[in-house]
Amino acid sequence: MHDGVSPMKIWLDGKVLEAGAAKLPVTDHGLLYGDGVFEGIRVFSGNVFRLDDHLARLAAGAKALDLELPGGLSRIREIVLETVRAHGEPEAYVRLVVTRGEGALGVDPTTCHDPKLFCIASDVHIYPDEKLAEGIALVTASVRRPPPDVLDPRVKSLNYLNNVLAKGEARRQGADEALLLNLSGHVAEAAVANLFAVLRGELVTPPVSDGALEGITRRTLLELAGSLGIPAAERSLTRFDLFAADEVFLSGSGAGVVPVRSLDGREIGSGRPGEVWSKLRRAYLDAAPALGVPAFEL
């Protein structure tokens, strides 16, 4: 979701490298066919946010693809922490990637024998303060989210073309982000973030069955809503529900918790960030460090 080049460290083949020194073969099936899984993870105050939850989701996605995780989860956990330490910043964004590895031309995954893992730790580039103050603009994408029997959204795979097309469409229309609907016209999520709506005091987010990723930040906000006494539910939503909502906001590891001011040129609620968003974002930022795994030795 970010423009520009930021300082980063990359773990690859047992070494932590500068970005320019990290290289993959062009015959890697992750590059050729989007065959692999990934996780986007935040670091808050030197703590890797819900690392074990991210690793559990990575493992589930890899199993769904019949993809072996090199070294196992305990080793991958160490690699993430090692990369974050090498980056050296208490606030960071981590991209953990596992590809099918090198193979013959053609989609046959059985020609690949050594899955490839790499981990990137980079500076954080969330939406600027003015976007958090005024909210972002959404437009409804013309492309639809594939149903689970085509591509299950619970698998955070390297095949993100659906999201890329939606995001590009939004940007060409002068908007910040795209709204993705499923084939039934129900809201799935934004191009690269989960979506929440506040309807008559209730916090509602689309269920996974409608095409939403099982977001780690999404889950955290639902838990925090319970602790704050905010009624919350997973329920199908349409564009009409968003137009009728008092508030709409997005959540994601990279984006954080971001208010939405408009959809397709129409104001959402007051057209300004709302009270529920403000409470949940503050609670999220306060809780995040304690929900993380320390990366730096005391």
- The CATH number of residue 229's host domain is 3.20.10.10
The whole domain housing 167 covers 129-287
Known catalytic residues are 156
Which of 102, 122, 142 is the C-terminal boundary of a domain?
A: 122
Residues 100 and 150 in one domain: no
- Region 75-88 average pLDDT: 97
Q: What is the pLDDT of residues 12-32, one digit of tens each?
A: 999 999 999 999 999 999 999
55: pLDDT strictly greater than 90: yes
Residues 196 and 77 in one domain: no
Residues 135 and 179 in one domain: yes
Q: What is the pLDDT of residues 207-265, one digit of tens each?
A: 999 999 999 999 999 999 999 999 999 999 999 999 999 999 999 999 899 999 999 99
Residues 86 and 134 in one domain: no
Domain assignment present for residue 238? The answer is yes
Domain assignment present for residue 24? The answer is yes
Residues 26 and 77 in one domain: yes
- The CATH number of residue 45's host domain is 3.30.470.10
Taking Cα atoms as reference points, which of 117, 102, 103, 115 lies closest to residue 38?
117
Q: How many domains does the chain have?
A: 2
**Residue 130: per-residue pLDDT:** 87
3: pLDDT strictly greater than 70: no
Residues 104 and 142 in one domain: no
Residues 181 and 54 in one domain: no
Residues 276 and 218 in one domain: yes
Rounded-to-integer distance, Cα 288 and Cα 51, Å? 11
**Residue 2: per-residue pLDDT:** 36
Residues 108 and 213 in one domain: no
Which token pair is 82?
């090692």
- In the chain the beta strands, taken as DSSP E runs, fall at 8-12, 15-18, 36-44, 47-49, 92-99, 116-122, 136-140, 177-181, 187-190, 194-199, 202-205, 232-234, 247-252, 256-263, 266-267, 292-294
Cα atoms in the 13 Å half-sphere on the side-chain side of 199: 18
Domain assignment present for residue 296? The answer is no
Rounded-to-integer distance, Cα 141 and Cα 172, Å? 11
Domain assignment present for residue 208? The answer is yes
Determine the Cα angle at 139 with ends 285 and 231, to 5°.
45
Residues 74 and 149 in one domain: no
Residues 163 and 257 in one domain: yes
Taking Cα atoms as reference points, which of 12, 169, 202 lies closest to residue 101?
12
Residues 210 and 266 in one domain: yes
Domain assignment present for residue 294? The answer is no
The dihedrals phi and psi of 100, each to the nearest 5 degrees, come to -65, -25
Strands 92-99 and 36-44: antiparallel
